[in-house]
Amino acid sequence: MARLGMRVAGRYRLDRNLSRGRIGEVWLAHDLELGRDVVLKRLAAAGAAGFDRLWAEGRALARFSHPHVVTLYDRVRSKRRGAASWLVMEYVPGGSLDGRPPMPPSLAARLGAEIAGAVAALHAAGIVHCDIKPGNIVVTGDGAAKLADFGAAYRAGDVETISPNGPSSFTPAYAAPEVMQGRPVPESDVFSLGATVYALIAGEAPRRGAPPQQETHPPEGEPRGWDDTDAYVAAREAARASILLEADVGPLAGVLSAMVRPEPADRPDAAGARRLLEQVAGAHEPVPEPVDADGAEPGGPPGSRRRWRPAVAASAAAGAAALVLILAWLNVHGDHPRATAAPTPVPAPVHRADLRGADPCALLDPVSLRGFGRAELDRQYGNFDRCDVIVQPPGDDTEVDVLVDFDLDPPPEGIAPARTVGVVSVVENPEESDTCYRTLVLSGVHDSTVRVIAKRYDPGRAPLCAIADAATATAVDAFNRGPLERRSPPANSLIHQDACTLLTAKALAIVPGVDAADPDPGFGNWDCDWESTTSHMDVSLRFDQGRPPSAEDGTSTRLNGYRAFLIPEGEGDGTCLVQVVYRFYRSLPGGQGAETVRLLVKGDHPVDRLCTVATDLARAATARLPRA
């Protein structure tokens, strides 16, 4: 066993013990060569098994240079007081997330989204972490989350990244059912992350309901002394029960329920979980300090409190007695029960002002559409009044665009609602060959509706109305759960602008017959149309977001310092489009996105004339924009 002040490999001085137990020890140390604090980890297991396990963790960590994964600096062997192997890792001064007081959902979602990004990178390299929990997540001084402790890392598929899989460690309170069976898959980490985010909000791990007819204690009169096999079987049986999301997790109720579904195929993947969590995530804010400070956590200072939770080793080579007990229990109790969420509150009426600030992506869930094919959320597809999920049906069928759209129209006349659920009445519009849509009429809202549309742009076989109905059910459920998640756009976003104010009467005078005082605004005033009564020329100005335009889209020019692209016949014959790049931003799935102003002129005029008018109007509109 190491001791205070000891030097490892002649370079690392052990300054403070952070954790010591039967599986090993972790120390805060000082790198005497580079003059920085580091964390040293040593497993207690001696011989080849302990060496292989530690080196396997080192190989797993060495694969990554990720902002939300603890960095591995070195791995060394010390021959002092017997041969010992150590991992030298980044010291994260904020400590772990274990033992923190309950957090607001927005903060828990932000931390969870950061870890989900790290987990997606792990999965891309063929590694399942297997033991995600608050104690294995540390935070930096500015509150960023980092995933630590890869001692349970498991090689998924045929990717050779760590040593051959042996026993897989897990923490029962956070482990997915398939991990208890010794069959980790990437979605197992999504389950554990969902349980972890819940724990950050509730202040404790989620409770599991007891399986029916299960005896969780020895028979009366029998000695208590369970051995490791008893503990494993009890943990295994507990994991088969439902995760009970009993605490109020606010806008994360649907997200966490999806993440902890019993069947791996029903959960989102790590990238999908990240996108779902980012919809709720708030801005960076301080992480609450631990409740008390009489313990220490690996990777953190002495003030980081760690609550003890049993870590149980399981493997395909478990003892015959344990295997028989597990199989017998599975035969009795059958399939996994479904996860349950907190009781649904009585919904309040929605108001149009609430819709303008709401995030339309809160009404869509890609997981609910995966029965129709691969589904991916696209938050940046068009104007601010919509959100899309792109569904790719199996085979060669054409993709389907499923969108939720806030619409500045009254409820449709002459069509009675097919059903009313809580505060939402659903109108089933007539099916068309390439489109199926439903109109949601909200209680208390008389001048706006919400449309759920499933459409394709090429012939295909996908059942559009079945897809639209699945998306509608998700949207109706979201409205009835309570207030929708709010967006938190930056101050320089076009979402704060009024498209109808960007063209003055003087600017519009170039189009005879236009009444500048009578524009036709769209929802949120994020688009605006002007129609000429004499010149057969119409003007449309709207905001857009998504892929930045490039020279491939049209002729590049500059308008009031903004980069712009002139696109003759950009939306068909008799049109000219000017697309102005207002600001760039980092796109959620990675890469760069752009907010743009789209100025379209259409009419019965030569295209050169239309483009001259479009350019002049775009120049006038950009002159009234605040600098991004």
Catalytic residue numbers read 131
Q: What is the DSSP secondary-structure string of 443-467?
A: TT-SS-EEEEEEE-SS---S-HHHH
**What one-character DSSP code corresponds to residue 102?**
P
Question: Would you state the structure tokens that stand for residue 482, as one six-digit string?
Answer: 């309570």
How many angstroms from the chain centroid is the CA of residue 490?
19
Beta strands in 471-510 (DSSP E): none
Residues 6+ apart with CB under 8 A from 96: 134, 135, 136, 137, 138, 139, 148, 297, 298, 299, 300, 304, 306
- Please state the length of the chain: 628
Question: Would you state the structure tokens that stand for residue 128, as one six-digit string?
Answer: 């399942």
Q: Please say whether the beta carbons of 511 and 539 come within 8 A.
A: yes
Give Rg (Cα) of the chain. 29
Identity of residue 44: A
Beta-bridge partners for 76: 86
CA distances from 186 to 56, 115, 131, 411 (A): 18, 14, 12, 44
**What one-character DSSP code corresponds to residue 4?**
T
CA distance 39 to 31: 10
CA distance 522 to 450: 13
Question: Per 3-state DSSP, what percentage of the chain is helix, strand, and coil (rounded to 5)?
Answer: 30, 25, 45
**What one-character DSSP code corresponds to residue 96?**
B
CA distance 337 to 340: 9
Kindly tell me the burial class for residue 224, based on how many C-beta atoms sit within 10 Å of its own C-beta (0-12, 13-18, 19 or more).
exposed
